[in-house]
């Protein structure tokens, strides 16, 4: 980098300008993926040009980057998009931290904290350090900084301005479109826009400067020669084997008693609710949160005990590992119970986003529990953070693959079909209005299903009529920077059934708008949320 700093600055400030071009007054869409990919390409180009080749282990992160970056303009569901953006940035951070060393899979919590702080420090100071080093090299080599006279440049600009103005006015008269573009350019330089232009210039410089710091950090600090407490315990092992065995054994005994006594209650289902006098909501919700909290804190306790407990003999290690295996087995039983409770609640009230997230989360935390005890048995406790990272990636990847909003639509419609009676329709189709564009093609497909019961089909049609009406009120003109596949697919699906929706009449004289179905029922177009 020191040999060609000009190239570095040109590239990073070009990327800063690209951020402005892609995001200023633009809605989220393909712009984030383009910007993130450009940052990665520019960084790799600069590093490879300097003769710095990435570690092969670091290259494993590139497919993950591609997946999450693509999700940002394929799925529109909020949590899915948020996780996609977050994990795209996380992968980019890991690449910057371990470009040369490739030991990201060995990072512990301490490594993430210290190395993230080092990266922030590099973003603030490395570019300045680079310029100082370049000046020092030039001084040592006897190269004097060139002293250029700026006045010839000023005189040239002063002479050129009236010449350009004359030719521009003639060309504007010759071509109407060119004249309009010239007027737009003049308006852009209006003095009223000066604060905005200054603000945009500042963040372009800040983004370019920060990116330069990241690239310089990757070129210098990413060798990962030393990790926090490598080949040593995370914490000093100060707790004796007897003390930890009593603590762990007591918790195991408590959990065992709880599971044994409550086993029928855990898995009794609907019949057990009637016996105990609980409603569905009380049965599912009163125990679900507490069981998940118990699992989390018990896992945290096990990790802390593993870090601080002295295990000086093989017998002590076996006893501790046996208690740990038992504890995790009991936690898994509790998680299965929480999973079944959630399923029972969904059976009665249907699926929502929060319930879907929780379903997926329980699966991944269960897998993490199994891996945790395996690492304890193999005495590979340092790999826990890697296991947690894999579980986090798994959870974040599961949501776009599942397609959360489409899944909710399918499950709730199927639940209503299974419970369908001749005189009652319980489908909460109004909740569909809260969902993103991901749900629209699935709703259209369901609406066109001939076998769908007429009352259910009419409710879905009312939801689609409201969605179609609300989209008609949106007068935003989306540019290519805001292109999103979810929006494209939703628009195509709605156009396909536009004629079918003419039987649903919208009344928007009062708020909220109401839709009248072909059978005469009224349906509100207002949105509401529930967990």
Q: β-strands 505-507, 522-524: how paired?
A: unpaired
Distance CA 346, CA 355 (A): 8
Three-state SS across 150-214?
CHHHHHHHHHHHHHHHHHHHHHHHHCHHHHHHHHHHHHHCCHHHHHHHHHHHHHHHHHHHHHHHH
Q: Which two tokens stand for residue 156?
A: 């040239």
3-class SS at 360?
helix
Q: What pLDDT does residue 275 have? A: 44
Please give the pLDDT value at position 423.
47
pLDDT, tens digit only, all 531 positions of the chain: 667 788 899 999 999 999 999 999 888 999 999 999 999 999 999 999 988 999 999 999 999 999 999 999 999 999 999 999 999 999 999 999 999 998 888 888 888 888 999 999 999 999 888 888 877 876 776 665 555 555 676 677 777 777 887 887 878 777 778 778 777 777 666 656 667 777 888 889 999 999 999 999 999 888 866 766 655 655 566 777 788 888 888 988 998 888 877 665 555 555 554 445 555 555 555 556 677 778 778 888 887 887 777 777 778 788 888 888 888 888 888 888 778 777 777 777 788 888 888 889 888 988 988 888 788 778 777 788 899 999 999 999 999 999 999 999 999 888 888 765 544 556 777 888 889 999 999 999 999 888 888 888 888 999 999 998 888 776 667 788 999 999 999 999 998 888 888 888 888 888 888 888 888 888 888 765 555
Provide the 3-class DSSP secondary structure of residue 412. helix
CB 145, CB 264: distance < 8 Å: no
| Alpha helices, DSSP H, located in 350-432 | 353-378, 384-402, 404-418
Distance from chain centroid for Cα 293: 23
d(CA 394, CA 493): 30
């Amino acid at each position: 980098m020191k040999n060609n700093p000009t190239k570095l600055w040109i590239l990073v400030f070009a990327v800063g300008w690209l951020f402005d071009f892609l995001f200023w007054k633009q809605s989220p869409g393909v712009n984030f993926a383009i910007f993130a990919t450009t940052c990665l390409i520019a960084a790799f180009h600069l590093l490879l040009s300097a003769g710095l080749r990435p570690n092969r282990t670091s290259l494993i992160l590139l497919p993950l980057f591609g997946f999450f970056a693509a999700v940002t303009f394929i799925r529109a569901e909020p949590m899915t998009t948020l996780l996609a953006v977050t994990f795209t940035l996380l992968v980019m951070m890991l690449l910057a931290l371990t470009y040369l060393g490739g030991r990201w899979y060995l990072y512990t919590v301490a490594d993430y904290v210290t190395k993230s702080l080092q990266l922030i420090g590099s973003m603030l100071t490395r570019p300045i350090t680079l310029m100082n080093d370049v000046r020092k090299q030039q001084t040592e080599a006897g190269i004097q900084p060139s002293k250029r006279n700026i006045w010839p440049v000023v005189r040239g600009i002063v002479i050129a301005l009236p010449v350009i103005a004359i030719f521009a006015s003639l060309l504007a008269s010759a071509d109407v479109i060119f004249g309009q573009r010239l007027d737009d350019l003049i308006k852009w330089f209006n003095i009223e826009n000066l604060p905005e232009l200054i603000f945009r210039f500042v963040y372009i410089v800040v983004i370019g400067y920060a990116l330069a710091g990241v690239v310089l950090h990757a070129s210098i600090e990413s060798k990962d020669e030393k990790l926090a407490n490598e080949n040593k315990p995370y914490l000093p092992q100060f707790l004796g084997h007897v003390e930890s065995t009593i603590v762990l054994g007591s918790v195991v005994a408590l959990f065992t008693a709880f599971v044994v006594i409550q086993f029928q209650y855990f898995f009794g289902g609907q019949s057990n609710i009637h016996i105990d006098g609980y409603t569905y909501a009380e049965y599912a919700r009163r125990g679900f949160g507490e069981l998940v909290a118990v699992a989390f804190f018990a896992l945290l306790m096990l990790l802390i005990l593993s870090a601080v407990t002295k295990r000086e003999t093989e017998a002590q290690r076996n006893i501790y590992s046996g208690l740990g295996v038992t504890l995790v087995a009991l936690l898994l039983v509790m998680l299965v119970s929480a999973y079944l409770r959630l399923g029972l609640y969904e059976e009665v009230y249907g699926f929502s986003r929060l319930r879907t997230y929780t379903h997926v989360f329980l699966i991944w935390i269960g897998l993490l529990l199994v891996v945790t005890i395996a690492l304890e048995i193999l005495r590979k406790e340092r790999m826990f953070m890697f296991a947690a990272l894999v579980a986090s990636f798994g959870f974040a990847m599961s949501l776009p693959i599942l397609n959360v909003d489409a899944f909710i639509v399918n499950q709730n419609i199927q639940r209503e079909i299974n419970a369908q009676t001749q005189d009652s329709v319980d489908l909460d189709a109004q909740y569909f209005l809260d969902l993103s564009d991901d749900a629209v093609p699935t709703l259209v497909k369901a609406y066109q299903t001939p076998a769908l019961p007429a009352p259910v089909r009419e409710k879905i049609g009312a939801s689609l009529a409201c969605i179609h009406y609300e989209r008609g009120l949106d007068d935003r003109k989306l540019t290519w920077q805001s292109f999103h596949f979810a929006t494209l697919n939703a628009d195509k699906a709605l156009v396909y059934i536009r004629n079918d929706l003419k039987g649903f009449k919208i009344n928007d004289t009062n708020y909220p708008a109401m839709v009248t179905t072909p059978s005469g029922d009224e349906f509100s177009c207002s949105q509401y949320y529930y967990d």
